[in-house]
Structure 1
């Protein structure tokens, strides 16, 4: 995996995911995002880094539509607009992020061994905060 920064789209796999979304008709994009999140949620034994990266990218797209969400990366994120996403993707995205930071996540293990591990965790925490329901 080519990684150039800690942002949700700062790697080849996430940029490819964004490109794949762009290739879909607008009405199919929400289901592709759901599929990426669900794949991470289903992996309770060991989450492969590829699926983890896609889950983070999908969660970032969901978070971007939340009141406190940051815009998706203008360079490596999707170029095409993502239609309004169903509200049930927010808790699914949070659960997927739980899997991404779990001990059984290859992505987390890779970041734990990296110089910028804390920056990556900060990015994940920003996503979690945006996706969390308002108190």
Structure 2
């Protein structure tokens, strides 16, 4: 994985994901975003490959960008085409995926922890998680 900065799209795999979104019709883009989160869980409790994780983090950034308090995705490496309004059920799925990515069996965390930028990268991912979790909690009916 070629990585050049700590941004959610600042690596080859996530940048390719942004291009893949642009190649799809608008109506199919939410499905591709959902697939990135589901791929994280296909690994079960096994070691999570970094390529799967980076696209899920990028997908979470796109979902969070449509939430109150979310930062817009303005990087030239993200999708160029506007996304439709994403389904609200992607938010809790994104939270669960980020929790798995930040867990102990994650190659991406190990790679970031090897360098000096691990702390700032983790802060960025935790910010995404915070935005998504807050919106999810605010819209989840009490049990």
Under a length normalisation based on structure 1, what TM-score does the superposition of the two structures give?
0.96
Structure 1 residue aligned with 2:38: 38
Following superposition, the deviation at residue 125 of structure 1 comes to 1.1
Report deviation, 1:74.
3.1
Is 1:8–2:14 an aligned residue pair? no
Q: How far apart are the structure 2 equivalents of 1:30 and 1:127?
A: 18
Structure 2 Cα separation of the partners of residues 87 and 26 of structure 1? 17
Following the alignment from structure 2 to structure 1, what is the Cα–Cα distance between the partners of residues 101 and 32?
A: 18
Q: How does 1:1-135 map to 2 (within 5 A)?
A: 1-43=1-43, 44-134=45-135
Contact 1:9–1:73 under 8 Å retained in 2: no
Q: CA RMSD in A?
A: 1.0
Which digits, 9 at most, give the CA deviation of each residue in 1:83-119, with x for residues without a partner? 0011110000001001111110110111110110001
Count of residues in Structure 1 that have an aligned counterpart in Structure 2: 135
Larger radius of gyration: 2
**Unaligned runs of at least 5 residues, structure 1:** none
Aligned equivalents of 1:74, 1:27: Cα separation in 2: 22
Answer whether contact 2:9 2:75 (CA < 8 A) is retained: no
Query: 5+ unaligned residues in a row in structure 2: which ranges?
Result: 139-143
The answer to whether the 8 A contact 1:10-1:76 is kept is yes
The normalised TM-score by structure 2 is 0.91
Q: What is the rounded CA distance, in whole Å, between the counterparts of 2:3 and 2:75 in structure 1?
A: 17
